[in-house]
Every structure is written in structure tokens, then in C-alpha cells.
């Protein structure tokens, strides 16, 4: 089963995307619909709201008067927190019941309006954000929902901004224009990414990187790394000792294979094994074919690690799980920080990468590409250590 978080600002068209995904076969769990269900007449949720806010929030028929309740809580953060404390736990419980009833091969899309505001993005293997320009959203709210313009603008201003949503988004669907274009984008997302992602996740199958071709530096790599680090940290829980974006995509301005390398620190490999299933459920299947750490200073003995890949066909990830303080753990952080700081070393390394690409860039056996680089790493290690000593460097996850 693949769980997808779907969100977007009010008036963005999130419900349109949810309906299209349902038509394609997704199991849609609508948080707004559930929020109405858990405060329906004769429910414990409605009774608790009346206790908290008084009988003035009821209609003559005994149902929740949403406009009256909104007037009480919209401008009062403390009142809004009281309401959320009543509604949100019930929504979570009912959502989990619906998810548990879904087939094991389902793509479950959780429609969560405040996913970003609630900092829930790391809890999903994939987050889809539906976007529309603010003025277009205002127009829709006024014309289609009959909302006063001032209220529409206030609602939009009270929610997360575009920058926060972009930071959370693995997939960004723009719904500012042609509805047919949005439908086509959703269909492509379903066919090319969600369906194979679910199958890979269920079968614990890793998406391989393919031939080692270098790409120009992508300004999105740092944000992708941060988003994936948060996802790994959430899955590892208290056994994790920090997650870092490492490898070439973590070095600004450096051409690299379009692969995000991550390092999860643990106290022991017993902890790595204990979080294996949680990492797999989060979208990172275990790769049992690699057990020894190649990232280590020259002459250091082989050091065991654990290695996970990605089930998401839209993003290749190499996740290295290492003991904090081990040679490989330190080495990965040191080389990243040294290359960030030393332009000459960065240029040297790029030249070696170009040579490896020229020789083996069309070879699906990435080991040969790596072997071309190893002599440079061995020779560069003392220089990196010297830089660490001269700069008072210490390992950092940033």
C-alpha cells in the first residue's frame, strides 16, 4: 500500500485532483469529509464542541452551525486550538480505520487541507501539492462559493504560503490554467509514478539509478535532500541519530548524477535493523546486496553498514545507514564539507568524474564508474583531514 498526502490552499482545486485520482482507482480519504462526519448530529464530537463553545454553535435542527463556529474561532488562536483538539484526533482515528480497510495493493490518497500547516509531510512517502495563483483562488472562492472577497483573502492569508508548500511537495500540480491540462497531469502522475511506486513499495523493490550520467547542478537538490531527510528521520524515530544529505548533490554548483545520497546515523547496526521495516514503509526498500562500507579512509578496515534505496520511480535515493562515529559516517560528512569549502578540490573532483563518465557513462555497471574515482579519493583523504584540522571542523548534519 502506498500512502500519498494530497494538499493545497483553499480554492486551489485539490478536490478536483482527488476526484480524478479516485476515478483512476485511488482510495481517497477526505479529511474535510471526515471532519464533518465526526461532528454530525448525535456524535460525541458535536457534544464536546457544544460544551466548549456553547449552544450558539448549533442550528435550530441541532446540527453544527459552521458559520457561527467559524466566527468564534477564526480570529482567536486559542479557540481554534480548542476546536482542533476536539476534531483532529477523531479525524485521525477515522482516517486510520478507512486506510486499514483498503486493499493491500491500494494507492491511498489522504486529502489533508492543512498537511503543511500541521507539519505532516514527513509522514507520507509522497506529497502532492495542488497550486493555483492567489488571485485565481480568490476569484473561485467569490464566484463559485459565494464567499465575500475579504473573507476569501483572509482565509488564504491564514494558510501556509507557496514557499512552505513547495518545500513539502514531491509533486507540484499547477491548476492555474486549463482544467484539461490538470487532468492530463494527474493521469500522468498516476500511470508513471503512483502505480509503479505502490508496486515497488509492496514488493520491497528498489529503483536502480542506471548508467552514471552527470547532470548540471539542480537548484532543487538541496530542498529535495531536506525533504527526504525529514522523511527518513520521521521513519527512524528515536533510534535515529540524525540524517544528512551527502554526496555530490549536496555540494552546490557541482555536476552530479541525479541521485540524492542520504546518511542516517544510528548508535548500532542493531538499531539499523530495528528501523528497517519503518524505512521500507516510508519508501526506502532495503538493498541486501551491499553490506560493507566503501566510503572510508584509505587503509581503514571494512566496516559494515546498511543500505536502502528508493521505491519511488520519480526520485533515485541512496540511503546509507551507518553507526555514528564510524569511519564511513565521518568520511561522508567530511568530504561533503571539504568540497563545499575548497573550490580547487571541487574542480579536481569534477575532472575525475568527467573522466569516469567518459569511460563508463554508458555502462549500467556503476561499479566501474566508482573504481575510476577511488584513487583520487585515496589521495585526497589526507588533504581533507588537513583541512578539517586547520578549520576546526566537526561533523555536522547541515
User: Known binder of ligand: residue 325?
Assistant: no
Rounded CA gap, 62 and 142, in Å?
28
Burial of 317 (C-beta count, 10 Å sphere; 0-12/13-18/19+)? buried
User: Known binder of ligand: residue 59?
Assistant: no
Q: Are residues 17 and 147 in the same domain?
A: yes
Q: Lowest mean pLDDT: which of 125-139, 276-290, 311-325?
A: 276-290
103 has pLDDT over 70: yes
Rounded CA gap, 71 and 157, in Å?
16
Number of domains in the chain: 2
CATH number of the CATH domain containing 236: 3.30.460.10
Q: Report pLDDT for 71.
A: 84
Q: Are residues 88 and 161 in the same domain?
A: yes
Q: Report pLDDT for 178.
A: 83
Q: Report pLDDT for 225.
A: 97
Q: Report pLDDT for 158.
A: 86
Residue 311 domain-assigned? yes
Q: For the chain, give the mean pLDDT.
A: 91
User: Known binder of ligand: residue 14?
Assistant: yes
Residue 145 domain-assigned? yes
Q: Report pLDDT for 102.
A: 95
Residue 211 domain-assigned? no
Domain that holds residue 146: 2-203
Q: Grid coordinates 572510508 are at which residue?
A: 296
* Average pLDDT score over residue span 254-270: 96
User: Known binder of ligand: residue 225?
Assistant: no
Burial of 17 (C-beta count, 10 Å sphere; 0-12/13-18/19+)? buried
Q: Lowest mean pLDDT: which of 25-39, 59-73, 363-377?
A: 363-377
Residue 396 domain-assigned? no
**Which of 150, 171, 203 represents a domain boundary (last residue)?**
203
- Asked if residue 272 lies in contact with residue 321, where contact means CB atoms within 8 angstroms, the answer is yes
Considering the chain, what percentage of its residues have pLDDT values greater than 70? 95
Rounded CA gap, 99 and 80, in Å?
27
Q: Are residues 300 and 184 in the same domain?
A: no
User: Known binder of ligand: residue 396?
Assistant: no
Chain segment 136-174, per-residue pLDDT in tens: 999 999 998 988 898 889 889 989 999 999 999 999 999
Q: Are residues 294 and 343 in the same domain?
A: yes
Residue 343 domain-assigned? yes
Residue 212 domain-assigned? no
Q: Report pLDDT for 196.
A: 98
* Average pLDDT score over residue span 279-285: 98
Give the orientation angle of helix 14-24 with respect to helix 179-189, to 10 degrees: 50
Q: Are residues 267 and 169 in the same domain?
A: no
- Asked if residue 282 lies in contact with residue 125, where contact means CB atoms within 8 angstroms, the answer is yes
Considering the chain, what percentage of its residues have pLDDT values greater than 90? 73
Q: Lowest mean pLDDT: which of 91-105, 181-195, 284-298?
A: 284-298
* Average pLDDT score over residue span 310-333: 95
Residue 398 domain-assigned? no
Q: Lowest mean pLDDT: which of 298-312, 339-353, 379-393?
A: 298-312
Q: Are residues 183 and 75 in the same domain?
A: yes
CA 117 distance to own-chain centroid = 15
Q: Are residues 235 and 140 in the same domain?
A: no
Q: Report pLDDT for 35.
A: 92
Residue 209's Cβ-side half-sphere holds a number of Cα atoms within 13 Å equal to 24
Q: Report pLDDT for 340.
A: 97
DSSP 3-state of 314 = coil
Q: Report pLDDT for 67.
A: 86
Q: Are residues 87 and 150 in the same domain?
A: yes
Q: Lowest mean pLDDT: which of 50-54, 203-207, 358-362, 372-376?
A: 358-362
361 has pLDDT over 80: no
CATH number of the CATH domain containing 96: 3.40.50.300
Chain segment 53-100, per-residue pLDDT in tens: 898 889 988 899 988 898 888 778 898 889 989 999 999 999 999 999
Q: What is the 3-state secondary structure (H, E, C) of 336-351?
A: HHHHHHCHHHHHHHHH
Chain segment 231-248, per-residue pLDDT in tens: 999 999 999 999 999 999
Q: Are residues 177 and 258 in the same domain?
A: no
The DSSP annotation for 88-151 comes to HHHHHHHHHHHHHTS-TT-EEEEE-TTTTTTT-GGGSSEEEEEE--HHHHHHHHHHHH---HHH
Residue 395 domain-assigned? no
Residue 4's Cβ-side half-sphere holds a number of Cα atoms within 13 Å equal to 27
User: Known binder of ligand: residue 12?
Assistant: yes
Q: Report pLDDT for 398.
A: 76
Amino acid at each position: 500500500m502506498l500512502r500519498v498526502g494530497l494538499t493545497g490552499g483553499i480554492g486551489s482545486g485539490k478536490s478536483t485532483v482527488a476526484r480524478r485520482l479516485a476515478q483512476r482507482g485511488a482510495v481517497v480519504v477526505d479529511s474535510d469529509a471526515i471532519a464533518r462526519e465526526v461532528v454530525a448530529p448525535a456524535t460525541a464530537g458535536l457534544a464536546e464542541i457544544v460544551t466548549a463553545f456553547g449552544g450558539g454553535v448549533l442550528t435550530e435542527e441541532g446540527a453544527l452551525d459552521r458559520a457561527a463556529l467559524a466566527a468564534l474561532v477564526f480570529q482567536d488562536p486559542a479557540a481554534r486550538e480548542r476546536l482542533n483538539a476536539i476534531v483532529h484526533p477523531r479525524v485521525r482515528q477515522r482516517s486510520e480505520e478507512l486506510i486499514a480497510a483498503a486493499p493491500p495493493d491500494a494507492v491511498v490518497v489522504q486529502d489533508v487541507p492543512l498537511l503543511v500547516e500541521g507539519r505532516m509531510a514527513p509522514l507520507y512517502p509522497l506529497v502532492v501539492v495542488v497550486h493555483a495563483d492567489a488571485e485565481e483562488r480568490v476569484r473561485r472562492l467569490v464566484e463559485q462559493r459565494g464567499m465575500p472577497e475579504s473573507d476569501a483573502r483572509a482565509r488564504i492569508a491564514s494558510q501556509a504560503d507557496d514557499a512552505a508548500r513547495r518545500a513539502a511537495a514531491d509533486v507540484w500540480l499547477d491548476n492555474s490554467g486549463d482544467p484539461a491540462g490538470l487532468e492530463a497531469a494527474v493521469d500522468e502522475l498516476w500511470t508513471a509514478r503512483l502505480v509503479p511506486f505502490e508496486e515497488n513499495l509492496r514488493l520491497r523493490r528498489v529503483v536502480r539509478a542506471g548508467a552514471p550520467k552527470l547532470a548540471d547542478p539542480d537548484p532543487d537538490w538541496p530542498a529535495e535532500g531536506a525533504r527526504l531527510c525529514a522523511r527518513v528521520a520521521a521513519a527512524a524515530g528515536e533510534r535515529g541519530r540524525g540524517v544528512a544529505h551527502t554526496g555530490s548533490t549536496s555540494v552546490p554548483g557541482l555536476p552530479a548524477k541525479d541521485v540524492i545520497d542520504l546518511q542516517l546515523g544510528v548508535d548500532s547496526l542493531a538499531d539499523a535493523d530495528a528501523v528497517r521495516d519503518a524505512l521500507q514503509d516510508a519508501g526506502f526498500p532495503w538493498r541486501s546486496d551491499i553490506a560493507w562500507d566503501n566510503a572510508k579512509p584509505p587503509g581503514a578496515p571494512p566496516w559494515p553498514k546498511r543500505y536502502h534505496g528508493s521505491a519511488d520511480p520519480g526520485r533515485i535515493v541512496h540511503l546509507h545507514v551507518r553507526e555514528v562515529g564510524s569511519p564511513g559516517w565521518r568520511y561522508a560528512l567530511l568530504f561533503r564539507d571539504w568540497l563545499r569549502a575548497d573550490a580547487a578540490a571541487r574542480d579536481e573532483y569534477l575532472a575525475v568524474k568527467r573522466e569516469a563518465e567518459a569511460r563508463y557513462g554508458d555502462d549500467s555497471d556503476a561499479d566501474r564508474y566508482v573504481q575510476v574515482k577511488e584513487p583520487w579519493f585515496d589521495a585526497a583523504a589526507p588533504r581533507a583531514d588537513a583541512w578539517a584540522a586547520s578549520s576546526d571542523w566537526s561533523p555536522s548534519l547541515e
